[in-house]
Copies of this chain bind each other. A is one copy, B any other.
């Protein structure tokens, strides 16, 4: 049994804690949160120890590994501390909003040999990963184009958006990682376009965008197109399409149920899409924990690592610069 402590038990940390508790080869070694009531509630509900400090967690011999689900600003520090304590890490994305800080963190933990896994949960979705497997199995031949549609069901609260680091670092970052996962090759060029259509006033205030389109290109010429919106009224729109020389693989959306309705003005109507990531990626979050447990137990490299987190942030930086300068930006110009 791998004993994992959870740092930060807000909405996501709590879900991770439940998944750890339910995992057959893991157990919840305890929880910590700067907001004590949240930690108390989760520790009582799941019958887990509540730690009083990060230091206590990292010093505990009953903690084999940590899951970091605290606020973004603390991620890099905690990664450094846990690495120093020799505790394997599963950290929620992003590592940090600053590429400089990420690079510094990378230098700090270099050579430690402590596994750091990044929480790009979508890689563990059964549909998205089936797309990648179809490519690996040669089902679509040589990969030519990837189309990623990723639209949130609704705008996050203003307060969240204001400190999010902008759509590219906060939301598109998942799609940048998905593009890398599917492309199977480093991205060489980034071209982005942003608009303010969902909440223009907020976007103006934050110098941010709510509607973006991005084209990525690899050295060999493979293309990935990402389109994002902060609000899709029909639910959480999450599709991945891979087009190749011998076919195409699409990971389709997940409606709430398998009902189809027919009426006097329509046919074959499905339910709205699962809404939101906790529901849509429920199985993927559990599979992510499983992958982490596997990696630590078997001494394997994590399926998604620190460098994947850094590369996704580089693409975000490139997209921001692309819009600012109205041009295609090479990733070699960043970081």
A→B interface (CB under 8 Å): 22, 126-127, 130-131, 134, 139-142, 144-145, 147, 149, 151, 189, 191, 193, 195-198, 211, 213, 215, 217, 221-223, 225, 227, 229, 231-235, 237, 243, 245-273, 326-328
Contact = CB atoms under 8 A, between A and B. Distances in A.
15 contacts: A130-B257, A189-B193, A197-B221, A197-B245, A232-B243, A233-B245, A234-B247, A234-B262, A247-B262, A247-B263, A250-B261, A252-B259, A253-B267, A255-B267, A266-B272
A249 B267 contact: no
User: Which 4 residue pairs are nearest across A and B when measured between Cβ atoms?
Assistant: A195-B221, A127-B258, A327-B327, A248-B262
B272 A255 contact: no
Q: Kindly report how many copies of this chain are found in the complex they form together.
A: 4
A214 B144 CA distance: 15
A36 B189 CA distance: 51
A188 B257 CA distance: 32
Contacts of A222: 195, 197
Contact of A193 (B131, B245, B328): B328
Given A227-B225, A247-B233, A266 B257 contact: no
Contacts of A246: 233, 263-264
A245 B154 CA distance: 11
A267 B263 contact: no
B264 A233 contact: yes
A125 B225 CA distance: 26
Nearest to A247: B263
A264 B246 CA distance: 7
B268 A247 contact: no
A222 B92 CA distance: 33
Given A126-B257, A237-B248, 4 more contacts: A127-B258, A253-B267, A255-B267, A268-B270
A248 B261 contact: yes
Contacts of A268: 255, 268-270
A237 B255 CA distance: 19
A312 to B, nearest CB: 20
A147 B213 CA distance: 10
A193 B195 contact: no
A240 to B, nearest CB: 10
Given A197-B221, A223-B193, A252 B260 contact: yes
